[in-house]
Structure formats: C-alpha cells, structure tokens
Amino acid sequence: HCYQIEDFLKAIQEGTDLVVVSMVLFTTGQLLSNLPSLIKAAHDQGAKVLLDLYHAVGAVPVDVADLDIDFAIGGSYKYLRGGPGASWLYLHPRHLDGTLETLDSGWFAQANPFAFERHLSPQLAEGGNRFLESTPAILPFYQARAGLLFTLSIGVDRLRRYSLQQQKELEELLQKYGIPFLGQMEERGAFIAIPHLQAQLIADRLGENGVICDARESLLRLCPDLLNTREELMIAVEKLAETWHRLR
C-alpha cells in the first residue's frame, strides 16, 4: 500500500495528542513526501509530532530543525553503519523547559545522580537530561561514532545520489527478468521492495546462495550498499530471478 499524506491528515482530529509517523516505511521503503503539511496540520490541532528516522538517517537528507518536528527517534545500526545498541532521541528545544514528564527514566535522569538519594518523587534533571536512562554501554557508541564520521565525511547528499544510481541499475535488471517492484526511485528510501507471497522463502534461498537480503511480510527487500559493485548487483538479481521463476 502506498500511503498519501492525506491518509494521515484524516486521522488527525481535535484531541489528538501525538502523531507518530515514519519518514521511510520499513516494509515498503516508501519515502513520505510533503511531511511539512502533515506536521503543520498536527500542530494546528495542538498535537505534537514524533518522527521515526530509522530508515531515513544516513540514507536521505534530513533536517529536523527545518521540519519543526517535536521529537525524533532513530538508531545507528542501519545506514549510519554503527552497529546495534546506539539509539537516540531528539527533542525540539521548545520541549526542554521541564514541562514534559517522562514516564520511564534511569538514574542518569536524576538532578544529582551521584547523590544516590531516594526521594518520594523523582527529582529530574534540567533539559533533555531528564530523559536519560541508566548507565549506557560505551562500546556501541564508540562503534557508532566511526559510522557517523564515515557518513559525514562522504555526505548524505552524495550518498543519496549514489543510492539512486544503484537503484536505477537494479530496476533495469529487475525489469529485464520480469520481476515487479514497488514505487519510483525518488519515492523510496534506500531499498527496493519486491512483492511475493513467499518473500521470506526467497530471502532464505538467496541467503544460501550468498545474497544477503531480508523480507517483511510479503515483501522482499533489496538494499544496495555503497560498497556493492555493479557485478554484485547483477549476480544478486540473476540469483533472484532463478529462485523467483522456480516458485511461480
């Protein structure tokens, strides 16, 4: 299903408190267009907006300040090449005045975490620190830093251009073998979704043949990487075509 901004606008009503939406949908890869109109509509109704950026950051240009979103969540283990365990939360500066209360936090969120005092009610820190958890694992963030530096050194705009070039090559190969796919390049994040009722079986078969991909529901996801060669893209689609036509 291809969502339109109008689908979300219909759901925003008076009394809506929070609108949660993904910039890039994890199943189909659809890149939602016209987000500013959705965010404005939510704010006009007095609602806040939380944007899920897991499949967007590092793959497509994102400017949270320009979008004027209230919150964003994401992680570094996908296109930022950081590995698991380094997720993050963005809060707009207007929400750092202490009026927002967190329902769950760790001891780092305390105003004086090293006092080890037990108050009847939490004495939370100022600003965004009140949303901190407990002692974080350091190694995932050290690994994430390397991925961030790599991404920033190349630039997301440049990564996006190359990703679209690779997707175009994949599209041409898929069309050659008569394999359908969803959407147009500019309407996607970094991967191409291919509909098939046995998508997971196809992903497993491809994995046995050295092609790394995955499936969500009835969609196979192919995501070319910066390090993939043109020859590897050709091999991946050839292996896919063999499996695809065998299952027809």
Asked which of 154, 173, 190 is the last residue of a domain, the reply is: 154
Which pLDDT does position 5 carry in this prediction?
A: 84
Asked which of 121, 154, 187 is the last residue of a domain, the reply is: 154
Which pLDDT does position 116 carry in this prediction?
A: 59
CATH of the domain at 130: 3.40.640.10
Same domain, 179 and 63: no
**Pairing relation of β-strands 18-22 and 48-52?**
parallel
Same domain, 230 and 207: yes
Same domain, 34 and 138: yes
Sheet hosting strand 18-22, strand order edge to edge: 18-22, 48-52, 71-75, 87-91
Residues with Cβ within 8 Å of residue 230, at least 6 apart in sequence: 169
Domain residues for the domain of 204 are 156-246
Asked which of 124, 154, 184 is the last residue of a domain, the reply is: 154
Same domain, 204 and 106: no
Same domain, 148 and 219: no
CATH of the domain at 167: 3.90.1150.10
If one counts the domains in the chain, the total is 2
Which pLDDT does position 110 carry in this prediction?
A: 65
Same domain, 13 and 107: yes
Which pLDDT does position 185 carry in this prediction?
A: 87
Same domain, 85 and 167: no
Which pLDDT does position 3 carry in this prediction?
A: 84
Which pLDDT does position 115 carry in this prediction?
A: 56
Q: Burial of 111 by CB count in 10 Å (0-12 exposed, 13-18 middle, 19+ buried)?
A: middle
Same domain, 124 and 28: yes
The pTM of the full predicted model, rounded to 2 decimals, is: 0.85
**Pairing relation of β-strands 192-195 and 219-222?**
antiparallel
Same domain, 21 and 72: yes
Same domain, 37 and 144: yes
Which pLDDT does position 225 carry in this prediction?
A: 93
Same domain, 113 and 219: no
Same domain, 20 and 103: yes
Q: What residues of the chain score a pLDDT lower than 50?
A: none
Residue 131: how many CB atoms within 10 A of its CB? Answer: 20
